[in-house]
Chains A and B, each alone.
Chain A
């Protein structure tokens, strides 16, 4: 079975890929394609954030007894991302290219520095402290709708 780092890290790459595809469609004002790609991106992100918030973070918090540490910061940044994505959805609906590109540049920086923290610290730490039930955790995350 994979590590948490492999599993969630490769999901980051998949989200990045959809992010880049949606942004490039919008930059070219290909609105039909953009709407589909943006919906896919938003769904993939929402799935990723939910897997972390409902499975990984609670397990990490229970194991380390720490609910105000790294997971709290990660949850806060998730909310910042959701806020940006909500506005991006508005920009897609309004067909506002410039508004979207300003928001997507901001989201990319936020998302990438967030991913660095997770992939450099939180996931390896989780693999370490949750090594006993890692396979179950990954299965639970895969089961998240």
Chain B
């Protein structure tokens, strides 16, 4: 462990920097929802331009956007190692990521090669800047289970981007990669099971016990789960070159790891010391239930080749994993991070006595976070059932839009309180 690294853990980044990420994320959730509302047939197949556009609005615009903001905030706390040059990094990552995601969505929707070219350039700049800064920070960080989760997640993000780049160039018509089906499978696996899942798992090891005061995760799970999943992902990426039986075994290993994580998390949360109602806990539980449902759906497909080959199977996995798991957990985290930062920076800026400023709970009206959870839950339910009963898809999209809108309003209400009590966005 480097002593130098730990010495720099004092400074949280200025409030405005993570906020920039947190406040743009719900707008992409809203954009995805509106695509569904405008054309419910988007979800008829995973290959419709609308389905591809809305998937990237969710994964890049909502998930990656919020997760990069959260990483920026959490690195000093869990790794003792802030991002270098945070202000430059935030602007040079967030703006290109937002514009690049929009271009990519336009590229899919309009089948426009130029839009793919612009998207690739912008996303390339945004990710290069953020990944370089994160690499500096993570290399000098004090190693612990969460830091390892973050390292492997960030590496997966890099691989996801490289594979996405190849796929985008193919769409732009400039280059045909040699193994496009394998590249697509690896892009999906590293993006969802690498970047999203490994980051959530690594972060869960620290935050699940701390939010509700639960027992810690079993140490062997902390030590082995993220590296184990990552190794399986590497083998999975080579699957086309391996016997089919090996590929299935690797997938089974991934499914077992996911199941172990979800079940352990739910079991720890059931043993929590703080029993008060908590909307973040509800979002996490929905997320874990969705992971278990994803594993169940995958298991059924192993015994039913017809189901495994259907469009509905892939779409169902996507709705459960991206919407039910990813969006839920990130949404729940935003309700802890944003009110806490609003309180923390207000207190530090004003040197206020605690009683003279709003508490974390005053920052966002609890009832409104609960309504947003209900909209989100309903959206997940309707979109899931809607894959089999398309009549429900538009209502599901509408619920998702309401949920995204209310999330944004709720986050803004925290900032309004912060500002009204004399906080400054510096």
Q: Is the CB of B6 within 8 A of A70?
A: yes
A121 within 8 A of partner (CB): yes
Contact bitstring A91-131, B, C-beta under 8 A = 1, else 0: 00000000001110110111011011100111011001100
Q: Given that A16-B273, A23-B274 are contacting pairs, would A116 and B3 also be in contact in the complex, using a CB cutoff of 8 Å?
A: no
Q: Is the CB of A27 within 8 A of B79?
A: no
Task: Give the interface SS of chain A, mostly helix, strand, loop or mixed.
Answer: helix
How distant is the Cα of A110 from the Cα of B12 in the complex, in angstroms?
13
Q: Is the CB of A17 within 8 A of B273?
A: yes
Q: Given that A20-B273, A70-B6, A121-B142 are contacting pairs, would A105 and B360 also be in contact in the complex, using a CB cutoff of 8 Å?
A: yes
B9 within 8 A of partner (CB): yes
Task: Give the interface SS of chain B, mostly helix, strand, loop or mixed.
Answer: helix
Chain A-chain B contacts (Cβ-Cβ < 8 Å), number: 101
How distant is the Cα of A20 from the Cα of B213 in the complex, in angstroms?
8
Q: Is the CB of B274 within 8 A of A20?
A: yes
Interface size class of B (residues with CB under 8 A): 20 to 34
Say which residue of B142, B213, B347, B355 sits within 8 Å of A80 (CB atoms).
B347
Distance (whole angstroms) from the CB of A121 to the closest CB of chain B = 4
For window 75-99 of A, CB contacts with B under 8 Å fall at: 76, 80, 83-84, 86-87, 90
Q: Is the CB of B359 within 8 A of A125?
A: no
Number of interface residues of A (CB under 8 A): 41
Distance (whole angstroms) from the CB of A12 to the closest CB of chain B = 11
Stretch at the interface among B180-188, B305-313, B336-344: B336-344
Q: Which residue of A lies closest to B73 (CB)?
A: A113
Q: Is the CB of A120 within 8 A of B78?
A: yes
Say which residue of B144, B211, B361 sits within 8 Å of A101 (CB atoms).
B361
How distant is the Cα of A87 from the Cα of B343 in the complex, in angstroms?
15
How distant is the Cα of A117 from the Cα of B11 in the complex, in angstroms?
12
Q: Is the CB of B79 within 8 A of A84?
A: no
24 CB < 8 A contacts A-B? A17-B213, A23-B274, A64-B7, A66-B7, A69-B7, A69-B10, A80-B354, A83-B347, A87-B354, A90-B355, A102-B361, A106-B354, A106-B360, A108-B213, A109-B340, A116-B78, A116-B206, A116-B210, A117-B9, A122-B6, A124-B142, A125-B3, A128-B3, A129-B3
Q: Can you add 16 more A-B contacts, CB < 8 Å, to A87-B353, A105-B360, A112-B211?
A: A24-B275, A27-B275, A64-B3, A64-B7, A83-B355, A86-B355, A87-B355, A102-B362, A109-B336, A110-B344, A116-B78, A117-B9, A120-B80, A124-B6, A125-B1, A128-B1
B positions within 8 Å CB-CB of A: 1, 3, 6-7, 9-10, 77-80, 142, 144, 206, 210-211, 213, 273-276, 336, 340, 343-344, 347-348, 353-355, 359-362
